Structure 1
Amino acid sequence: MAGSANALQAAIFSRLTGDTTLTGMIGAGAVFDRRITGRAMPYVVLSEVATSDFGPDAEEHLVTIEAWSDAEGRKQAQEIAARVKVLLDGTALSLAGFVLVNLMHRSTRARREPKTRAHVAQMVFRALTEV
């Protein structure tokens, strides 16, 4: 089931980029699969997917998504993270070739990046997929 993580990431990307409220907060074309240094903030990064077996036909995924901002304070990063949570927590996404059993928000942590003006709100979601 190696492709389930990719299918999950594609579905999350589609959900985030298709939301006009989130686009209004971060701008068009501001959801990435890696941090883009030198790009104007704010933006959202699908940072990491850790996958483990959850039975013969199922996998568990811990998906890390980051909201980056260089605005004063953590407020903007936290507002973007709150919107991402609304879009993903408990949502039934359609995955190509797989079934998303559930997608749940586990945690959000906001911090300032050392030696920069950037703030990041790092969210972790737990997803369970089956064939």
Structure 2
Amino acid sequence: MISGTSELQKAVFSVLSGDATLGGLLGGARIYDAAPDNAAFPYVTFGRISTTDWSTATERGSEHFLTLHCWSRGKGKKQALAIADAVAACLDDAALPLDGHHLVSLSFLGSETAYDDRFLATRGVVRFRAVTEPVE
């Protein structure tokens, strides 16, 4: 794969699943690409990942915008905010190993938290920007 998107998602999943602080907030390694129907709250899911060409005249590269969703049924927004903060702390400026690619940068862009009526839960949305280059 030229862009490294799949490898980026695997590395993010691995780092989040192995983080003790986040695991404590979630009650275990509850990180999902798509949450199972019976998933216990709280948990984190992958949201939108968009990738664009970031090549220069001499180097190939990709720019990725990665969104993670932090789901909580705790009272108010406190739990969702704490989970979103832990996700941001894990990933901002992290040096993640990617098979076949080099992670040039991974930066926290921002977050928002709101109640989601469809799921009767509070959802924190955390956004990141990453740049990768294929290892040639």
User: Normalising to structure 1: TM-score of the pair?
Assistant: 0.93
Equivalent residue of 2:64, what SS?
Answer: strand
* Structure 1 residues 83 and 29: alpha-carbon distance in aligned structure 2, compared to 1, 3 A threshold: closer
Ranges of 4+ aligned residues in structure 1 off by more than 6 Å: none
Question: 5 Å matches for 1:38-49?
Answer: 38-49=38-49
Q: Distance in 1 between matches of 2:131 and 2:118?
A: 37
Unaligned runs of 5+ in 2: none
- Higher CA-based Rg: 2
> For residue 124 of structure 1, what is the aligned residue in structure 2?
127
Q: Distance in 1 between matches of 2:119 and 2:52?
A: 34
Percent sequence identity over aligned pairs:
36
Which has the larger displacement, 45-54 or 33-42?
33-42
After superposition, the C-alpha distances for 1:27-82 in whole angstroms (9 at most, x for unaligned) are 22410002333321000111221011011510000000011000110110010000
**Structure 2 residue 72 is matched with structure 1 residue 73:** no
- Once the two structures are TM-superposed, the CA of residue 22 in structure 1 deviates from its matched residue by 0.8
Q: Distance in 2 between matches of 1:103 and 1:90?
A: 5
User: Normalising to structure 2: TM-score of the pair?
Assistant: 0.90
Measured on the aligned residues, the alpha-carbon RMSD in Å equals: 1.4
Unaligned runs of 5+ in 1: none
Question: 5 Å matches for 1:61-100?
Answer: 61-100=64-103
> For residue 109 of structure 2, what is the aligned residue in structure 1?
106
Q: Distance in 1 between matches of 2:27 and 2:4?
A: 28
Pairing partner for 2:63 from 60, 63, 84: 60
The alignment of Structure 1 onto Structure 2 pairs a total of residues equal to: 131
Q: Is the 8 A contact 2:44 2:70 kept in 1?
A: yes
